[in-house]
Amino acid sequence: MSFETQYNLKSPGVKRLMREAKELAEPTEEYFASPLEDNLFEWHFTVRGPPATEFEGGYYHGRILLPTQYPMQPPNIILLTPNGRFEINKKICLSISGHHPESWQPSWSIRTALLALIAFMPTSPAGTIGSLDYSPQERKNLATKSLDWNCSSCGNISQKLLQAPPPTNPTQEESTLIKEINLKAEEDSAKKEGGESKAKEDEKLEEPVSSPTGDQSTLRQRNVVDGSASAVSVAPSATDSLLQASIRSVNRDKFWSTIIWVILAMILLLVIRRAFFL
């Protein structure tokens, strides 16, 4: 695989991706990724399902689409293998994917994205884009079927990783990523719940109210009057501006009219003087 003749080697993004391609050239027990032979900005990857979860024993294949501004902008991740956690052939929502550019850090890499994906698989969908909520048994069945899954470009994915069992305890880097991802999921869930609560409050405000009587009618009329007074209090500022502009325009017209009349009077006096004193 040689990209020297295809890309500008002075480009920061090209330099970064070629360096990462060398670093990830050898598969591990947990993941493997490499660019396509004719496209440095599209990678295919395979990850092993995290142990002690319903994804254990499964192999999951996908695509990573990298922007030309990488690493300043995040990649998009697409899973191709049915898994019961993410929709296939659709960009999934992670705190380090293109759905959340505000969370992306240029120091992160494709390896970081793969570790995040593995860590994110057993977490709750929380209504994020591209998520699925299959039962544990359905996911176990899909994990078993994934062993026979083939990619049209890469072949059988179960042969892509080293066969040694993956470590059961997450590394410090993986633990940090899990915390960041979980926090992002909770933040998105809170935003969604907050939006729903606000929508319900707006609906309550728009609900028709029965005809008021007595004090309620008086109070409502007072509110209407107060609202009208408030609206009127805002209007004078604009009206005053227009009035002042109009006054200035009239004054200018008067000024020039006066000058014209003075000039005409002086000319008339000169004409009369010449006519009578010649």
For 61-108, what is each residue's pLDDT tens digit? Answer: 999 999 999 999 999 999 999 999 999 999 988 888 877 888 889 999
CA dist., res. 126 & res. 99, Å (int):
15
Strand 39-48 and strand 31-36: the pairing is antiparallel
223, pLDDT greater than 80: no
Query: Three-state DSSP class for 126?
Result: coil
136, pLDDT greater than 90: yes
Query: Three-state DSSP class for 86?
Result: strand
- Position of tokens 């396509």? 36
Domain ranges of the chain: 12-192, 244-278
Query: Three-state DSSP class for 256?
Result: helix
196, pLDDT greater than 90: no
Strand 39-48 and strand 76-79: the pairing is unpaired
Q: What average pLDDT does this structure show over 208-232? A: 46
pLDDT computed for residue 271 by the predictor: 86
Q: In which band, very low, low, confident or very high, does the pLDDT at 224 lie, cut at 50, 70 and 90?
A: very low
CA dist., res. 277 & res. 272, Å (int):
8
pLDDT computed for residue 241 by the predictor: 57
CA neighbor of 149 nearest in space, from 79, 211, 197: 79
pLDDT tens-digit map of 244-275: 666 666 667 777 878 888 898 889 888 888 87
CA neighbor of 60 nearest in space, from 132, 11, 21, 117: 117
- Position of tokens 């200035």? 248
Q: Is 93 a catalytic residue?
A: yes
CATH 3.50.50.60, domain 12-192, yes or no? no
Catalytic, out of 66, 78, 93, 121: 93
Query: Three-state DSSP class for 1?
Result: coil
pLDDT tens-digit map of 34-45: 999 999 999 999
Query: Count H helices, E strands: the chain?
Result: 5, 6
Q: Give the range among 50-54, 99-103, 219-223, 240-244 with minimum mean pLDDT.
A: 219-223
The DSSP secondary-structure symbol of 82 reads -
190 or 214: whose pLDDT is higher?
190
Residue-averaged pLDDT of the chain: 78
Q: With pLDDT > 90 as the criterion, what percentage of the chain qualifies? A: 41
Strand 39-48 and strand 59-65: the pairing is antiparallel
Q: In which band, very low, low, confident or very high, does the pLDDT at 188 lie, cut at 50, 70 and 90?
A: low
The residue type of 192 is: K
Q: Give the range among 46-55, 87-96, 134-143, 233-242 with minimum mean pLDDT.
A: 233-242
